[in-house]
Amino acid sequence: MTTMSRHTPWDEIGKPSTNYTVRRVAGSGAIPVFWGKDVNDQCLLIVELNGDHGVQFRKDCATVHGIGVDLRNGEQTQQQRLVLTLEKQVDRDLFVGLCETLVVSLAPVSDSSVALSVTLTHIKRWKAFLAGRKSRLLSPEEVRGLVAELHCLRALYQLQLTQLEAVDAWCGPEYLHQDFIFGNTAVEVKSLSGRERNTVRISSEDQLEGLSENLFLVVYRFSDMSDSELALSLNDIIRVVEHELGDAKALEQFSKKLAGCGYLPLSDYDLPRFIVSSMQSYRVEGEFPRLIRSLLPEGITKVAYDIKLEAIKPFECAQEQIFGSL
């Protein structure tokens, strides 16, 4: 897969005669990050680290076809540089997308060990994509579903949980029964576009059978309004979350879970851009219409079905029951 060629940060960096030429990345935070080129005119991204991280690097580093990953000594004592080198086999536009997202993820990080962990997680995500496990674009339905889950994640860490608790609660990438599980509460998230009918698809007999005391269904309806300044694409909302996560462990965990979703920062996800036009919450209890494993006839399995939203209107509840309030 390739993307359309575009201007990259390396276009204005000359080839050095020795070592490499670097230029600090605009907007990089406490962890210095540099664009660079080496004597072979290869494109580099360099992350400058304080301390000795050799043990962590050898333990967690993944080899990726097309990208060189190397930990080198820095110019000062107790300083190291993690160097990512673009090799010919990998598309340059995809590499710059990886680097740009990594820069955003590193912006709030101040600890070198965490910075190394975040970087290596991004590399593993890249490796998984290239290895073919998720070597396809997410479908429009998967994109919209992921955007809905990220809106729910933001509501949880803004209103109810700590950032780390909210990210830990996000189970969507792990393919558990519900998308979020925390304490005695489980939440299943669904999304609709403005053009769709008022039904949501339940994809298994387990989605609305919760082991938690409180089970909720949350439905986001999106409008595709790409021209609006308030609209967010999948890439946009991921950048928003990465910017908001001030907890370094939460940011690291978030990166790992995005990898599980098969997400990479491709320009294909710059559109469509969505606005949440409505959001309804429902408590799943009592006579809520659903098919669940414990009540299916023997021999019936892998059930999928649609629920009419008008039929579950009596079960609608205040959002504060899930998210709390300011």
Report CA dihedral (83, 84, 85, 89) to the nearest 10 degrees.
Answer: 160
Angle, CA 213 vertex, CA 207 and CA 217 arms, to 5°: 40
Q: What is the pLDDT of residue 90?
A: 56
Q: What is the pLDDT of residue 184?
A: 94
Proportion of the chain above pLDDT 70, given as a percent: 93
Q: What is the pLDDT of residue 1?
A: 41
- Residues 172 and 202 sit within 8 Å (Cβ to Cβ): no
> pLDDT tens across 123-172, in order?
887 776 666 545 578 899 999 999 999 999 999 999 999 999 999 999 97
Residue 2 has pLDDT above 70, yes or no: no
- State how far the Cα of 166 lies from the Cα of 172, in Å rounded to an integer: 12
Residue 6 has pLDDT above 90, yes or no: no
- Residues 247 and 164 sit within 8 Å (Cβ to Cβ): yes
At 153 the three-state DSSP class reads helix
> pLDDT tens across 79-129, in order?
999 999 998 655 677 788 788 888 888 988 999 999 999 999 888 877 766
18-to-14, 37, 81, 177 alpha-carbon distances in Å: 12, 10, 17, 55
How many CB atoms neighbour CB 228 within 10 A? 12
Per-residue b or e along 212-224, where b marks 16 or more CB atoms closer than 10 Å to that residue's CB: eeebbbbbbbbbb
Residue 176 has pLDDT above 90, yes or no: no
Out of 4-18, 227-241, 290-304, least confident range: 4-18
pLDDT grade for 264, boundaries at 50, 70 and 90: confident
Average predicted confidence (pLDDT) for the chain: 88
- State how far the Cα of 158 lies from the Cα of 156, in Å rounded to an integer: 6
Q: What is the pLDDT of residue 175?
A: 66
Residue 4 has pLDDT above 50, yes or no: no
Residue 218 has pLDDT above 90, yes or no: yes
Q: What is the pLDDT of residue 42?
A: 93
Q: What is the DSSP string of 114-138?
A: HHHHHHHHHHHHHHHHHTTTT-SPP
Residue 5 has pLDDT above 60, yes or no: no
- Cα of 36 vs its chain's centroid, Å: 27
Per-residue b or e along 238-262, where b marks 16 or more CB atoms closer than 10 Å to that residue's CB: bbebbeebebbebbbbbbbbbbebb
Q: Which two tokens stand for residue 281?
A: 């919450």
Q: What is the pLDDT of residue 125?
A: 76
- Residues 89 and 26 sit within 8 Å (Cβ to Cβ): no
> pLDDT tens across 228-262, in order?
889 999 999 999 998 999 888 898 889 888 878 88
- State how far the Cα of 19 lies from the Cα of 184, in Å rounded to an integer: 56
Q: What is the pLDDT of residue 258?
A: 86
pLDDT grade for 201, boundaries at 50, 70 and 90: very high
Q: What is the pLDDT of residue 3?
A: 42
pLDDT grade for 326, boundaries at 50, 70 and 90: very low
249-to-27, 85, 138, 190, 192 alpha-carbon distances in Å: 21, 26, 26, 27, 32
- Under DSSP, the state recorded for 14 is P
Residue 47 has pLDDT above 70, yes or no: yes
